[in-house]
Amino acid sequence: MPIVSNISGSLDRWALSCGLPEGLTRHQYRDLFEEMLDQKKWSDPVLVTEPAPCQEVVLTGDDVDLYKLPVMKWHPGDGGPYITQTVVITKDDKFGVNAGMYRMMIHDKNSTGLMCNIFQDIGIHLDRARKAGKKTLECAVALGCDPAIYEAAVTKIPLNASELAFASAFRGGKPVEVVKCKTVDIEVPACAEIILEGEITVDETREEGPFGEWMGYFEEKMQLPIFKVKCITHRKNPLYLKTTEGHMHSEGEWIRIIPQIATVTQSCRERISGCVDAWLPEAGRGYTLIVSIKKHYPGWGKEAFYQALALGYVG
């Protein structure tokens, strides 16, 4: 199976993947990205009924084998091979669809770990499933999607908004075509190369990690929910898309840095009194926020500081 990587590995390639012109500055891209956060520019996904490319081959039962995918162990200290460039899709009866990019360490031929923390929308879906008394949460993972869908998946948008709808903003409002999964009640991008269908365990966990993560350090071992795969569908000749993590200029950073800057700037303007501008410097790896304010009296800066600390999770 051919491997594809680094399609968004520079600022210009990132711009092309978002349908934006090449050669602009990061500040200009931030401003354009902020404009696309306007939900009036989004279109709801369109369900297709004819055979979808992502379902040309259907594997179930004993034919499900994650080891047939060219999944890599990225760093010598990693706990196992990791699927890195994912679009993990879950549904909630109150908040609707969530599509996010979460790491997945392969445990065996039909199960993986899945990073679900309480700050992320998938963690909220999982917690609501637990409180409803469910044992599992249906899930589908799309691999090899239109880059616009990846950009939407790494952007922090309102909990009740759909990333698949947001992805249309990168394509001039053209809706994302989706198809129903074979074994779970979830719609996935019809254009994807590979789809993994299954369920996330609500209370059952398994040790996952360590993993050389986006901040340039190894995250420690942890107990994470298990994604149990019961069906794999894919194109007849699929491509396996992957992305690297850890280095400040890795593709994983290019995919998420402008969306992060855009969403945190929007939050600062909405919630910090007198905010003029905001920025996340590249070297800060998402941990350093610079906010410019227009002060009207002594002590305004302290007020802005505490307001900045109260901003929501932007990762």
Quote the CA–CA distance of 111 and 213 in Å, as a whole number: 21
Question: Mind listing the pLDDT tens digit for each residue in 125-181?
Answer: 999 999 999 999 999 999 999 999 999 999 999 999 999 999 999 999 999 999 999
Predicted confidence at residue 249, as pLDDT, reads 76
Residues in the chain: 315
* pLDDT beyond 60 at 314: no
| Mean pLDDT of the 50-68 span | 95
Q: Model confidence at 260, in pLDDT bands (50, 70, 90)?
A: very high
Predicted confidence at residue 56, as pLDDT, reads 97
- Amino acid occupying residue 42: W
CB atoms within 10 A of CB 223: 11
Q: Are residues 261 and 280 in contact, defined by beta-carbon separation less than 8 angstroms? A: yes
CB atoms within 10 A of CB 5: 15
Residue spans of the domains in the chain: they are: 3-7+46-243
Quote the CA–CA distance of 44 and 143 in Å, as a whole number: 21
Quote the CA–CA distance of 26 and 128 in Å, as a whole number: 38
Q: Please state whether the predicted TM-score (pTM) of the whole model is above 0.75.
A: yes
In 3D, which of 242, 286, 283 has the Cα closest to residue 150?
242
Looking at domain 3-7+46-243, its CATH class is: mainly beta
Predicted confidence at residue 244, as pLDDT, reads 79
DSSP character for 105?
E
Quote the CA–CA distance of 2 and 99 in Å, as a whole number: 25
Phi, psi of 245 (to 5 degrees): -130, 160
* pLDDT beyond 70 at 315: no
| Mean pLDDT of the 76-82 span | 90
Question: Mind listing the pLDDT tens digit for each residue in 225-253?
Answer: 999 999 999 999 999 999 877 677 778 78
Q: Model confidence at 313, in pLDDT bands (50, 70, 90)?
A: low
Predicted confidence at residue 277, as pLDDT, reads 95
Q: Model confidence at 285, in pLDDT bands (50, 70, 90)?
A: confident
Q: Are residues 85 and 256 in contact, defined by beta-carbon separation less than 8 angstroms? A: no
Query: Residue 45: CB partners within 8 Å, gap ≥ 6?
Result: 162, 164, 165, 168, 175, 176, 177, 178, 187
Predicted confidence at residue 119, as pLDDT, reads 81
In 3D, which of 8, 15, 19, 14 has the Cα closest to residue 41?
19
Q: Model confidence at 211, in pLDDT bands (50, 70, 90)?
A: confident
Quote the CA–CA distance of 70 and 84 in Å, as a whole number: 12
Quote the CA–CA distance of 7 and 24 in Å, as a whole number: 18
- Token pair, residue 165, equals 């709808």
Characterize 139-159 residue by residue with b for buried, 16 or more Cβ atoms within 10 angstroms of its Cβ, and e for exposed: bbbbbbbbbbbbbbbbbbbee
Q: Model confidence at 218, in pLDDT bands (50, 70, 90)?
A: confident
Q: Model confidence at 43, in pLDDT bands (50, 70, 90)?
A: very high
* pLDDT beyond 90 at 186: yes
Predicted confidence at residue 216, as pLDDT, reads 72
